Amino acid sequence: MPFYSPLNPILFFPSKPFFKLTKTLTFSTLQSTNMSASQDSMNATSLNTPINLQNYPIPLSPPLNPLSKEMELARAMSASSRSSLFALSKSDVLYQDQWLIAVNKPQGVYCETVLDSAPQLLDCLVESSGLDEGTVARPELHLANRLDRDTSGVMVITKLHKVASKLVKAFTDHKVRKTYIALCIGSAPKWEKITIKSGHGRSKFGAFRVYAASDVGRSLPGGSTVKDMETSFEVLSINGQGSFREPSEFNSDKNILVVEEKAVIDTDAKKDEILVRAFPRSGRTHQIRLHCQYLGIPIRGDVKYEGVCEWKGRTYDGHELHAESLSLEHPVTGQPLMFRAPLPVWATQIV
C-alpha cells in the first residue's frame, strides 16, 4: 500500500510491512521509557543519599559560634576605621639597626597598618639622629612576623629584601624562639606545665580547627592538609595568686598531651582567671588561641574560640594575648638577639 508523507508529498512504497515498523518503534519507546524511569529512580536515590567522596578527618574543636562572627566583623570594621589615624611613635621601638627594626604592636591594629606607619617612624628616627635624610637610602620594608589584629607585642620589620628572605627561612626552620602571655578564663588547670600536640587545619567552612595528631598529613576540603601543631604552657598565676617570672628553657618532654579525641569540658565549673605563658613550637595560624580553647581555658575576649567577652561587669573588645619575646640570630651579623615587649596593663594587674 502506498504511503503519503506530509513532509514530502510523494507517494512511496515501504520495503517492509508498516505494522512491523510500528511494532519496532513501540518497543524502542517502551525501552526508552523504562530506562528513563530507572534513571529517575537512581537520581532520586542519589539525591536522598549523602555521598562522601573522601573520608575527611573530623575536627575536634567546636565550630564557630554564629554570634562570634558578628562580633568579629564589628571589631574588624572598627580597626579598619582607626587605621588611617594610627602612627607608630619612638616609644614603640624596641630595637633598630640598619637592617631591621622591632616594634611593640598595640592591640586592635592590623600588621599592615603598622607596616604602613613604619616609613614615617623611620623618618623621625633619622631626623632625631642628625643624619642628612638625602644620604640615607629608602628602606625596602617587609614584615618578618605577623600577629593577629588583637594580639599585641613584638613585631619585626626588615629593611632589605635579602634580610627579609633570611628571616623568613629562620622562622620556617623553627630557629626563632617566641613566648606569649595570655589571660584565660576557665577552670584552674591541675597542671603547672604542659605540652600539647595536635593537628591543625581549616574545616570545610574555612575556620581553623584542632584535629587529632594522628590526622597530620591527611587531606582536607579545599586541597589543604592537616599540619602538626605543638605548644607548651606554664601557669604563672591563678586568680592573682602567683608570681611573674622571667622566661626560661622549657622542658617539653614531661607532661605531654597528644590530642586524639574531643576534649571534655565542664562548662558549669567555677571560672578562674589564669595567666599563662605559651611557647609555640610551630607557627600555625591562631595556634595558641586554639590550644587554649582545647584545654578549656579560652583567652579572655577571644569570642572566636569561646572566650568570654564580658567578665565581672566589663566588656572586652579584643582577646588578651601578648607576644612577649622573640629570640633569634641576627640575619646579617649572626649575633644573638632577644626582643622584649613591655607587658600590657591587663597582664600587670592580674599578678
How many whole angstroms separate alpha carbon 245 and alpha carbon 253? 21
> What letter represents residue 103's amino acid?
V
Catalytic, out of 148, 150, 215, 302: 148
* Displacement of CA 235 from its chain's centroid (Å): 24
166 phi and psi angles, rounded to 5 deg: -70, -40
**For residue 178, which of 283, 298, 320 has the smallest C-alpha distance?**
283
- Alpha-carbon span 184 to 298, nearest angstrom: 5
CB atoms within 10 A of CB 229: 28
Q: Is residue 116 among the annotated active site residues?
A: no
Assigned C-alpha cell, 231: 605548644
Residue 204 CA: distances (Å) to CA of 57, 59, 110, 215, 259:
10, 10, 26, 15, 20
Strand segments, DSSP code E, in the chain are 3-4, 11-12, 93-96, 100-105, 142-143, 151-158, 177-186, 193-202, 208-211, 227-238, 241-242, 256-258, 272-280, 310-311, 314-315, 321-329, 336-340
Contacts for 123 with CB less than 8 Å, ≥ 6 apart: 133
Residue 331 makes CB contacts below 8 A (sequence gap 6+) with: 99, 100, 158, 163, 166, 167, 170
Residue pair 88/120 in contact (Cβ under 8 Å)? The answer is: yes
Chain center to CA of 304? 11
d(CA 121, CA 126) in angstroms, rounded, equals 9
- Residues noted as catalytic: 148
